[in-house]
Chains A and B, each alone.
Chain A
Amino acid sequence: MSKLSLRTYTLLQTVTSVGLSAMAWAVTGVRPIWSGSEPSDRQRIYFANHTSHGDFILLSACLSETERAKTHAIAAAEYWGKSRLRRFIAQDMLSSVLISRTWTSEAEHPISIMLSVLDQGHSLIIFPEGTRNTSDELLPFRSGLYNLSMARPDVELIPCWIENMSRVLPKGQFLPVPLLCRVVFGAPVVVGPGEERRAFLHRARAELLALNPRPDRDD
């Protein structure tokens, strides 16, 4: 890429990221609650519950400007790669990384794509439920979280509970209802010695659920 277009590209991403964070604040008054971890420049994988397209915008609005610039959300290529416009929004404006649920070649393997991002020293936002959840229960986790942690044990896994986004921008809706949201960042989850995949995924899911500040709510 030429120097000029690279600069335009970075500028576009900065403007989008600042603009979206400001909008997220105006609509949801979003506040981070650090409960078990602290803001840090360590390399991390933030994993969160997923109910809305706004989820990762809210989560990244809680990070510092520098952290945000090197944190990429993992998004489904089936949705975000469908048209040129969607691809432009996802990749160029939001600097997310697209992975395919139905990969064919080894180069398209979601784990190798995510590892290559981590190997650039960047952080990730992933939604281990694998899809936007429309039920009241947190869905079982996909294995990615475990595989990533086994491959890169130095990267911290931070559970993040995103509150209320299912009401702000439910699946299938375009306009957000302004409601107050919080993102609760919990203590890092570590794969125990000899812990097998399913037990770990079960525990990670429980740790994320435990962060819900209002578990009594059933909406």
Chain B
Amino acid sequence: MRHEISILIIGLFVVLSTASVTAGILSMRAPKPLSATLVNLTQRINAWWVMVALMTVAFFFGRYGMTILFALISFAALREFVTLTHSRRSDHWVLLGMFGIVIPFQYWLVWTAWYGLFVIFIPVYCFLLMPAITALHGDTERFLERVSAQQWAIMISVYCVSHVPALLTLNVPGFEDRNLLLIAFLIIVVQGSDVLQYIFGKLFGKHRFSPNVSPSKTWEGLIGGLVASSLLGALLAFITPFSPLQASAVAFVACTMGFLGGLVASAIKRDQGVKDWGHLIEGHGGMLDRTDSLVFAAPIFFHIVRYFWTV
């Protein structure tokens, strides 16, 4: 596994360096003051350096690192989601429970690999008990809206996100002790697809995909990004239990889900009247702005691998 990890780190380093140098040259040649797009591009690339560095550190701590990192990502994402949606004074205890009980318990289930409860704790137990607590408080004002927002908040920020470290619990024959590479594959392919869609969209984008939801998404960006990230998937087959053809198919499905995740996140943001989820990551917005695609891709990727590759 050491061999594969070294290649990944060198690869990411080369890609990011190329990006930084390119953005630097573009900025030097561009008329001053720099356009908002160029400033944002530089910020985004700088933030990528930080994110890749953090991921790498977490990677070296293995199962501990991944579980803690994604629990923290869930925390940041949940905080953004709950901040944005409507809640009332009487929701205080339910909201506290989402941060103080749901996140730790879900990640404890990931840690102990208790698959049976991991998949139903939030969609069954939290789904039924949280609205019951809200009803017991007796405040019915905008009840359905409040409980729905709470359900969405934990499904998106906790349940879906927790499927990334849960990849470590899968038992793929012939791939023992190498599950960290599944996480690397998923993140590189899905985040890579976001970047590739951005690049193809900026270079060739003409036809808006869904002007009502997200003005920045174009057909050219989507198709270019999906084709390129499927190729990237095939290229990364050597770190996975998949053949190159399988890897590109899995990457295609994951990145399509990722695209849909971005679309749904945009629809929620538009509905709530904001442009970004938060300000945690300079140039990108909030945690959910960066992870919306991963949120949709992770559970599907998890179940594809579990269904077809585990015993």
Contact = CB atoms under 8 A, between A and B. Distances in A.
A is bound by B: yes
Contacts of A29: 79, 278-280
A170 B92 contact: yes
A178 B75 contact: yes
B278 A180 contact: yes
Report the interface size class on chain B: 10 to 19
Nearest to B90: A170
Interface string A201-218: 000000000000010110
B87 interface: yes
Contacts of B79: 29, 178-180
Contacts of A120: none
Interface residues of A, number: 17
Interface in B74-97: 75, 79-80, 82-83, 86-89, 92, 95-96
B87 A178 contact: no
A139 to B, nearest CB: 17
A5 interface: no
A180 B80 contact: yes
A178 B80 CA distance: 9
Contacts of A31: 279
Contact of B89 (A164, A170, A214): A170
Interface string A27-64: 00101000000000000000000000000000000000
A167 interface: yes
B83 A180 contact: yes
B87 A219 contact: yes
Given A177-B99, A178-B99, A164 B83 contact: yes
Majority secondary structure, B binding face: helix
B36 to A, nearest CB: 19
Contacts of B89: 134, 166-167, 170
Interface centre among A167, A173, A180 (most CB of B within 10 A): A180
A137 to B, nearest CB: 15
Contacts of B279: 29, 31
Contacts of B215: none
A175 interface: yes
B83 A179 contact: yes
A11 B39 CA distance: 42
Nearest to A134: B89
B273 interface: yes
Nearest to B84: A180
A138 to B, nearest CB: 17
Given A29-B79, A29-B278, A29-B280, A177 B273 contact: no
Interface string A108-145: 00000000000000000000000000100000000000
Interface string A181-218: 00000000000000000000000000000000010110
B96 A175 contact: yes
A176 to B, nearest CB: 8
A111 B95 CA distance: 40
B188 to A, nearest CB: 28
A177 B278 CA distance: 17
Interface in B45-97: 75, 79-80, 82-83, 86-89, 92, 95-96
Contacts of A216: 273
A177 B82 contact: yes
A167 B85 CA distance: 12
Contact of B92 (A164, A177, A180, A214): A177
A216 B272 CA distance: 10
- Specify which of B79, B86, B100, B273 lies most central, judged by the most chain A CB atoms within 10 Å of its CB: B79
A177 B280 contact: no
Interface string A143-186: 00000000000000000000010110010010101111000000
Nearest to A169: B92
A182 B2 CA distance: 44
A31 B95 CA distance: 22
A128 to B, nearest CB: 23
Contact of A219 (B86, B99, B100): B86
A45 B284 CA distance: 35
A162 to B, nearest CB: 14
A217 B273 CA distance: 11
Nearest to A176: B96
B152 to A, nearest CB: 16
Contacts of B92: 170, 173, 177
20 contacts: A29-B79, A29-B279, A29-B280, A31-B279, A134-B89, A167-B87, A170-B89, A170-B92, A173-B92, A175-B96, A177-B92, A177-B99, A178-B75, A178-B79, A178-B99, A179-B82, A180-B83, A180-B278, A216-B273, A217-B86
Interface of B: 75, 79-80, 82-83, 86-89, 92, 95-96, 99-100, 273, 278-280
5 smallest CB-CB distances across A and B, nearest first, come from A180-B83, A177-B95, A179-B83, A178-B79, A170-B89
